[in-house]
Amino acid sequence: MRNLRPSELKAWLDDAARANPVLLDVREGWEYERCHLEGATLLPMSTLPTRLGELDPLCEMVVICHHGVRSFHVARFLEHNGFANVINLAGGVDAWAREVDRAMPTY
Question: Is 65 annotated in the active site?
Answer: yes
Taking the CA atoms of 87, 8, 59 and 39 in sequence, report the sign of the dihedral they define: positive
Which residue among the candidates 48, 65, 86, 89 is catalytic per the annotation? 65
Q: Is 82 left (phi over 0), alpha (psi -120 to 50) or beta?
A: left
- C-alpha–C-alpha distance, residues 26 and 70, integer Å: 7
- C-alpha–C-alpha distance, residues 78 and 53, integer Å: 11
Name the maximum alpha-carbon separation found in the chain. Answer: 37
- C-alpha–C-alpha distance, residues 101 and 37, integer Å: 10
Give the active site residues.
Answer: 65
